Structure 1
Amino acid sequence: MTDRIATSAPFVPLRLDGRPLAHKAALVFIGTLFLAASSYIEVPLVPVPVNMQTYAVLIVGALAGWRLGAITVIAWLAEAFVGFPVLSGGAGGAVHFVGPTAGYMFGFPLVAAFAGWLAEQGWTRKIVPAFFGLLLAQAICFVPGALWLATFTGLEKAIALGVTPFIVGAVLKAALAVCTLVVAKRAITKRAA
């Protein structure tokens, strides 16, 4: 009976439900460091750079679950707002929350929450559903990102500059995130055995 429950349970590897607040706070802190580090891996494009932030947001959500994943991303954005150099290329400050890329940043907590929800629903237990679910999560980020960018450039140009160049990257990031989750699952299963 226990094996049946274990295999049908959602795959949220960090399983922090019921853990002390200190454990959750430590995860949020480590998650913000991971998000900041991913921001430094970039290819500068104008007006929206290509970086590993979206990948990190997916991983944080899928590993921590929807609530804690979204909280972690919000904490990272708060660090950026007060001026810590945690955004793309080491940027920080409130000015970035009204600039051309602000819509993407406001979409990040939604992406983490959706990726965490997918994990909690069991989507990340299998490769194909995980891939398409995480690809959809990234599409969620494109909507507020392109709509906000459109206020600067117009909708057609926003799609051309802020969505189309990132589709291949979104596919690659979804595949990399699935690989990361497979490795995490194996490591956690091995440790539990």
Structure 2
Amino acid sequence: MTQTNPAQAFVPLKLAERSLGSQALAVLIGTMFLAVSSWISVPMVPVPVTMQTFAVTMVGALYGWRLGGITVVAWLLQSFIGLPVLAEGMPGQIAFAGPTAGYLFAFPVVAAVVGFLAELGFTRNPFISAIVMLLGNALCLAVGGLWLAGLFGAEVAWTSGVAPFILGGVLKSALAAATIEGIRRSGIRLL
């Protein structure tokens, strides 16, 4: 694999360059951010509206593809062992078998895809960054929708698990791109 030009990449935390201890702390902070974002929830059936996709795309963009994906997997493992880190405090064993499972399985992939694109420099421009975040949200909706279609049929999947979330995905993508741009302009180097 070719090395990314550091002048083009924009992964603000540059965690790949940091110690293992700093990376472990970043994973812990990232899982807490993901949990808090999950608790910001509007109950809907069969899938609640949350800030999870915002957090997943932000973790990918800020951490890069490897550590972003690892952080999301760590968060999902926390849920699986019973910690109340998902929307509505749902335990992982139930969530991974129910209607939300497709979205959950998509989350690490979304973080990795957004992180990979950030490492390639696609989050340096706010408009391109918004497209990257939209891509992450669309990927999540596609995988989650496919899972729902397998459970309830295509029409229910579209009307209950995809269509109601499109506007929210667009808004969360714009918010994530604006946040990344704010971090870029401020020169903040967290941790």
Paired residue type of 2:169: A
- Equivalent residue for 2:18? 19
CA distance in 2, matches of 1:63, 1:90: 25
Q: Which runs of 5+ in 2 are unaligned?
A: none
Paired residue type of 1:168: L
CA distance in 1, matches of 2:6, 2:29: 28
- Equivalent residue for 1:132? 131
CA distance in 2, matches of 1:76, 1:190: 25
Paired residue type of 1:74: V
Post-superposition offset of 1:92:
1.9
Could you tell me the TM-score, scaled by structure 1's length? 0.92
- Equivalent residue for 1:52? 51
Paired residue type of 2:111: A
Q: CA RMSD in A?
A: 1.8
- Equivalent residue for 1:117? 116
Cα distance 1:70–1:101, how it changes in 2: closer, same or farther (>3 A)? same
Cα distance 1:190–1:184, how it changes in 2: closer, same or farther (>3 A)? closer
Identity rate, percent? 53
Cα distance 1:60–1:90, how it changes in 2: closer, same or farther (>3 A)? same
Paired residue type of 1:174: S
Q: Which has the larger radius of gyration?
A: 1
Post-superposition offset of 1:137:
1.1
CA distance in 1, matches of 2:6, 2:98: 45
- Equivalent residue for 2:156? 157
Could you tell me the TM-score, scaled by structure 2's length? 0.93
CA distance in 2, matches of 1:190, 1:88: 30
SS of 2:136 mapped into structure 1 = helix
Paired residue type of 1:113: A
* Further displaced range: 143-152 or 32-41: 143-152
Post-superposition offset of 1:153:
1.0
SS of 2:36 mapped into structure 1 = helix
CA distance in 1, matches of 2:70, 2:137: 18
Q: How does 1:138-177 map to 2 (within 5 A)?
A: 138-177=137-176
CA distance in 2, matches of 1:66, 1:77: 16
Paired residue type of 1:13: P
Q: Is the 8 A contact 2:12 2:189 kept in 1?
A: no
Q: Which runs of 5+ in 1 are unaligned?
A: none
Post-superposition offset of 1:6:
8.5
SS of 1:8 mapped into structure 2 = coil
